[in-house]
Amino acid sequence: MSIIVQKFGGTSVATAEKIRNAARRAIEAKKTGHQVVLVVSARGKKTDELVNLAAEITDRPSPREMDVLLSTGEQETIALMSMAIHSLGESAVSLTGPQIGILTDNASTKARIQQINTSRMRELLDAGHIVVAAGFQGHDRHGNITTLGRGGSDTTATALAAVLNASLCEIYTDVEGVFTTDPRIVPEARQVPHISYDEMLELASLGAGVMHSRSIEFAKKYRVPLRVRPSFNDGMGTLIAATPSNPPPVVTGVALVKDEMRVSLRDVPNRPGVMSLIFSEMAARKIPIDLVVQDAAEGGTAEVSFTVPRGDFADALTAAEQAVSKLGSGSVHHGTQLAKVSIVGSGMQSHRGVAAKMFQTLAEQNINILMISTGEIKISVLIEANRAEDAVRAIHHSFGLDQPFSSQTAEATIEPVKHNAPVVDAEREQEVVLRLANMEDIVVHDVLVDSNQARITIKNVVDQPGIAARLFAAVAEGGMMVDLIVQNVSQNGRTNITFTIPRDECQNCLQLIQNSLDLGDDVVLSHNDNIAKVSVAGIGLRSHTGVGEKMFGVLAEKEINIDLVGTSEMRMTAVIDRNHADRAEKALSEIFHID
Ligand code: ADP
Ligand code: ASP
Ligand code: MG
């Protein structure tokens, strides 16, 4: 008999009536011949209330006790839900995370699942019960209750669907499905009928709050068909599956993180090992970092900047101070009241002009871009927080996301090009997944080297709205496809923009920039056509802080200097000297056990 996992989020179980409605859905699914596992969240704003209550007691709650406290929210719902099912004449048994046997590591408040025991759930299902499982929680090896991080019930649901080999995992929530952006910010946002795991993973990890990003990792790793559905009507919602819709939309969605924090390490030594140290200090505290940008200055020093979520800011500053003291020189700076706006879409890999259009839209709104970082299927910019929603609205509109998808690519400014991005080897990915000792361990299935790129850097650009727009519009009009784009934090009103481009187009591109752009007198244009882009490919790489740590650790060990960094959930990329590419490939393949 096939198993269905249904998950109901907080709003969808907020009242007795809503609990009864959810119970009816589960019973319906059972009546159509499925075994049903119902995963539930804490009711309404319960988790927030508990967090606030703890804050009234202390500003430094013990993470262990925080988990004991927060897990009660879900425990309340499972009991009420089972009672509701009983009252409707069906049998149900509630189980907490520890009762199921969801074993996690001991990272309180952000625990990762290691193993899940299915025997008790299977016994209950085979005996005809609906299993009502508490989302968001598990226990560590010592029996301590742990929680999976805010929004973690989605992850419980997909993880249970994975171990039970469920035919479907349904996520019932308070919207019609996955939208092109948060409908609370842009009421014209459209529901997306179909989205790929990769697109959803990027969107979720870049701030689209509709799904916990780790739940998409589970879905992708274990090929769980996932459907996000409204709990308030019979809509079919959004299917999240292995492949994008056909043809893939250039931009599928826009995501926003409203309170991103910037951390900068200035005047640190410019030598191999700096990036490695930063990633390892952050990984030790499980802080995922994003928008990683480094900049070599005169006199052998460098500046590295990156962003972290607000919740990790204090820890990140401590970790950065630690790194500076280990390096022996440098100072830590930070920026607050910032927002990260990202666009995500599979079709981006095969269209040029996408970045130019995003930057152009921001320029038209007079929004200054403070940092840029791109990945295969995403472009992120850091801007002032007070313009965040304007930026989302304008970008959403300019990419035609309020229109049917087919009209997007018809635009002259965005052109299809030959798609030569390496195709992910799904078989190899599955081999790595099957070998994992723990369910949420890192999956790296490939090391890729691209030796056909060159790097162009434009230094000392006056930092004002419209610069990146003009630059990349000119490059796109010149028929060139840029790859990794990085813009540094500005100092004294000047910034540097770096990007990579196919090597055989480098000279043309330099000419084009010189001829068509008036960037001002102090601007210095430089290039390096002796670079290689080395990447590791896998699943959830930015969220798994250990990947950057390992990757940059091994490059430091080999004394290989890093020129540029790109991070995404699919790839972790370093631009290095081409002469070191073979050594880097070998060392990375070894450390990530890739034959
Ligand atoms: P639940 O309690 O069911 O887990 P969440 O509040 O975690 O629900 O997620 C649903 C909310 O996510 C929606 O109400 C919506 O405001 C927000 N959201 C953010 N981005 C998106 C998006 N791209 N598509 C749909 N909803 C989104
Ligand atoms: N109740 C938890 C939270 O609010 C988990 C969840 O809802 O997914 O974060
Ligand atoms: Mg949620």
168 and 263 inside one domain:
no
* 83 part of a folded domain: yes
Phi, psi of 102 (to 5 degrees): -90, 100
Nearest to 283 by CA among 256, 333, 310, 323: 323
**519 has a pLDDT exceeding 80:** no
**409 has a pLDDT exceeding 60:** no
User: Burial, 335: exposed, middle or buried (Cβ in 10 Å; 0-12, 13-18, 19+)?
Assistant: middle
Ligand 2 centroid from CA 546, angstroms: 25
pLDDT per residue over 33-63, tens digit each? 999 999 999 999 999 999 999 999 999 999 9
Ligand nearest to the Cα of 14, by number? 1
* 154 part of a folded domain: yes
Cα Dmax for the chain: 79
Ligand 3 centroid from CA 452, angstroms: 42
Q: How confident is the model at residue 219 (pLDDT cuts 50, 70, 90)?
A: very high
* 194 part of a folded domain: no
**420 has a pLDDT exceeding 70:** no
All residues at 6 or more sequence positions from 188 whose CB lies less than 8 Å from its CB, including other chains? 396, 397, 402
26 and 120 inside one domain:
yes
Residue with CA nearest ligand 2 atom 4: 47
302 and 156 inside one domain:
no
Residues with CB under 6 Å of ligand 2 are 9-10, 41-42, 47, 73, 135-136, 150-154
* 99 part of a folded domain: yes
pLDDT score at 419:
55
157 and 60 inside one domain:
yes
Q: Which of 137, 156, 172 lies at the terminal end of a domain, its last residue?
A: 172
pLDDT per residue over 456-480, tens digit each? 999 988 888 888 999 999 999 888 9
168 and 264 inside one domain:
no
pLDDT score at 334:
96
* 411 part of a folded domain: no
Ligand nearest to the Cα of 173, by number? 1
CATH number at residue 527: 3.30.2130.10
Q: What is d(CA 558, CA 537) in angstroms, rounded to the nearest whole number? A: 20
Ligand nearest to the Cα of 67, by number? 2
Ligand nearest to the Cα of 174, by number? 1
CATH number at residue 156: 3.40.1160.10
Q: Which of 122, 138, 172 lies at the terminal end of a domain, its last residue?
A: 172
148 and 284 inside one domain:
no
Q: Mean pLDDT over all residues of the chain?
A: 93
Ligand 1 neighbour 198 (Cβ under 6 A): no
158 and 267 inside one domain:
no
Q: Which of 151, 172, 193 lies at the terminal end of a domain, its last residue?
A: 172
All residues at 6 or more sequence positions from 109 whose CB lies less than 8 Å from its CB, including other chains? 63, 66, 67, 70, 146, 147, 149
Tokens of 58: 């202390």
Ligand 1 neighbour 135 (Cβ under 6 A): no
258 and 135 inside one domain:
no
* 105 part of a folded domain: yes
Q: How confident is the model at residue 424 (pLDDT cuts 50, 70, 90)?
A: low
Ligand 1 neighbour 73 (Cβ under 6 A): no
**Average pLDDT of the residues in 565-577:** 94
Q: How confident is the model at residue 294 (pLDDT cuts 50, 70, 90)?
A: confident
Number of domains composing the chain: 2
Ligand 1 centroid from CA 182, angstroms: 7
* 144 part of a folded domain: yes
263 and 138 inside one domain:
no
pLDDT score at 491:
81
46 and 157 inside one domain:
yes
200's enclosing H/E stretch is: helix 197-205
Domain that holds residue 543: 254-395+425-591
**339 has a pLDDT exceeding 80:** yes
* 100 part of a folded domain: yes
Ligand 3 centroid from CA 34, angstroms: 25
154 and 269 inside one domain:
no
Residue with CA nearest ligand 2 atom 8: 151
Q: How confident is the model at residue 17 (pLDDT cuts 50, 70, 90)?
A: very high
Ligand 3 centroid from CA 140, angstroms: 23
All residues at 6 or more sequence positions from 379 whose CB lies less than 8 Å from its CB, including other chains? 342, 343, 348, 354, 355, 358, 372, 485
- Please state the length of the chain: 595
Residue labelled with tokens 């200055």: 297
Site to probe by mutation for ligand 1, drawn from 43, 47, 174, 201 as the one with most ligand atoms within 8 Å of Cβ, is 174
pLDDT score at 343:
98
Asked whether 490 and 463 are in contact (CB, 8 A), the reply is yes
The pTM assigned to this predicted structure is 0.95
Q: How confident is the model at residue 349 (pLDDT cuts 50, 70, 90)?
A: confident
Q: How confident is the model at residue 406 (pLDDT cuts 50, 70, 90)?
A: low
Nearest to 156 by CA among 8, 309, 2: 8
